[in-house]
Amino acid sequence: MGKKRVAITGLGLVTPLGIGVEASWGSAVEGRSGVGYITHFDASSFPVRIAGEVKGFDPGQYSDTKEIKKMDRFIHLSMAAATMAVEDSGLKITAKNAEKVGVSIGAGIGGLPALEHYHKALLEKGYKRVSPFFIPMLLINLAAGNVSIKFGAKGPNFSVATACAAGSHSIGDAFKVIQRGDADAMIAGGTESSITPLGIAGFSNMKALSTRNDIPEKASKPFDADRDGFVMGEGAGVIILEALDIAILRGARIYAEIAGYGTSSDAYHITSPSPNGEGAARCMKSSLRDADAEPGIINYINAHGTATKYGDELETAAIKTVFGEHAYKLCVSSTKSMTGHLLGASGVVEAIFSILSIYNSIVPPTINLDSPDPECDLDYVPNKSRQLDVEYAMSNSFGFGGTNACLIFRKYRGY
């Protein structure tokens, strides 16, 4: 018996490019930047004063008013993305199927705003000023927990905390849950909201962030010789995965199939990629094996592409290792050039952009790519989106600690 096929039937996005899939995808295709000056706090004294913030977001549209105060912003964002995805899919969760519908939503950091707020309250006003909801606000798994409660999904419920690979691992693990028959459908994704004084200070002092404060929209420059670090972003993405036969039976719209999932560890350094990108290369090879696919079948790669010097160069080297001469025939783009780096949410947002590239036959660009790094010599779809019949798309995510995830999606051609 072959592997169970798994379809993507619903999408939800909340990003610096817009609220909703249509707004975010439309901005990405147009090559618009969502990066601007930080408004979540006064960053005027910080060396980094820019980020990709979600603008105009009202959590009350997606969560009960009484529940909002029990959640930190990263949970608010995940509730919105999950609501959009479930509605988009048309999936009805009932007493009959609830135990076969699960939730997998990851994050890299979790409730950092709540941590900072209540630590200050504790120091200044005493322990009684710490909310009884502080711990549930903080915990990464409460994103999945609250989504499960809202929709009555009683199947597998878990959260992945693998830094910048969390969203991709969440999707991949959910894929395997369905393949092995432990669920018929999974609400899977990633979320993050860490644009806070502590978050910006920590990444800034690591020298990881761009300091191009004078032109925020030009600050995120993956694969460009003038790149000077990544731009912090926030947001959430959720997809609905379903066993293909069940999705067909209920007449669901199918955006694409998920075909392969690979993971690996660099086992090298807490923040730096392994030499020559060998860990990333093993991860991509693993996903191709899982998809029973040859490298030459991939049309498009949504790269991790953070705009850090070694990260971009070593991902490029890894792609060449895996794809050989075909690497130069691929379209490879980094949508972080527009969204900034959404940390634990980045993998699922980029997976959704990969899915939409298949569904709409268009590849989003890498903007701000004006002076390519000589070490980065692939086709990064510079500055303008491109029409392309994408049959197979790969999405890469690599996180601190050397944790890697790679997803492969393919066009749905019938059962």
**CA-angle at 54, arms to 48 and 59, nearest 5°:** 135
- For the stretch 316-374, pLDDT in tens is 999 999 999 999 999 999 999 999 999 999 999 999 999 999 999 999 999 999 999 99
Average pLDDT, the chain: 97
Contacts for 410 with CB less than 8 Å, ≥ 6 apart: 256, 257, 259, 291, 358, 391, 392, 393
- For the stretch 291-322, pLDDT in tens is 999 999 999 999 999 999 999 999 999 999 99
Place 193 in a pLDDT band, splitting at 50, 70 and 90.
very high
- For the stretch 123-151, pLDDT in tens is 999 999 999 999 999 999 999 999 999 99
Catalytic residues, by residue number, are 164, 304, 341
Q: 1-10, 35-44, 48-57, 344-353: lowest mean pLDDT where?
A: 1-10
Q: Are residues 66 and 173 in the same domain?
A: yes
In a domain, 236, yes or no: yes
Residue 178 half-sphere exposure, CB side, CA atoms within 13 Å? 32
By residue range, what is the domain housing residue 406?
Answer: 262-410
In a domain, 415, yes or no: no
Residue 270 to residue 56: CA distance in whole angstroms? 35
Residue 339 to residue 356: CA distance in whole angstroms? 16
In a domain, 210, yes or no: yes
Give this prediction's pTM.
0.97
Q: Are residues 219 and 314 in the same domain?
A: no
Contacts for 338 with CB less than 8 Å, ≥ 6 apart: 16, 17, 27, 28, 31, 32, 33, 34, 35, 220, 364, 367
- For the stretch 86-121, pLDDT in tens is 999 999 999 999 999 999 999 999 999 999 999 999
Domain finish residue from 249, 272, 302:
249
For residue 3, the model assigns a pLDDT of 85
For residue 415, the model assigns a pLDDT of 75
Q: Are residues 211 and 274 in the same domain?
A: no
Mean pLDDT of 204-208: 96
Q: Are residues 307 and 245 in the same domain?
A: no
Q: Are residues 150 and 109 in the same domain?
A: yes
Question: What's the Cα-to-Cα distance from 299 to each of 323, 395, 411, rounded to whole Å?
Answer: 11, 11, 11
In a domain, 50, yes or no: yes
- For the stretch 28-42, pLDDT in tens is 999 999 999 999 999
In a domain, 83, yes or no: yes
Q: Are residues 91 and 165 in the same domain?
A: yes
For residue 2, the model assigns a pLDDT of 73
In a domain, 1, yes or no: no
For residue 42, the model assigns a pLDDT of 98
Domain finish residue from 203, 220, 249:
249
Q: Are residues 184 and 296 in the same domain?
A: no
Q: Are residues 289 and 242 in the same domain?
A: no
For residue 1, the model assigns a pLDDT of 55
Residue 381 to residue 330: CA distance in whole angstroms? 10
Q: Are residues 319 and 231 in the same domain?
A: no
For residue 128, the model assigns a pLDDT of 96
Mean pLDDT of 164-174: 98
DSSP 54: P
For residue 399, the model assigns a pLDDT of 97
Q: Are residues 127 and 78 in the same domain?
A: yes
Number of domains in the chain: 2
Residue 155 has pLDDT above 80, yes or no: yes
- For the stretch 239-292, pLDDT in tens is 999 999 999 999 999 999 999 999 999 999 999 999 999 999 999 999 999 999
In a domain, 241, yes or no: yes
Q: Are residues 273 and 392 in the same domain?
A: yes
CATH number of residue 73's parent domain = 3.40.47.10
In a domain, 339, yes or no: yes
Q: Are residues 242 and 315 in the same domain?
A: no
Residue 311 to residue 28: CA distance in whole angstroms? 22
Domain finish residue from 202, 224, 249:
249
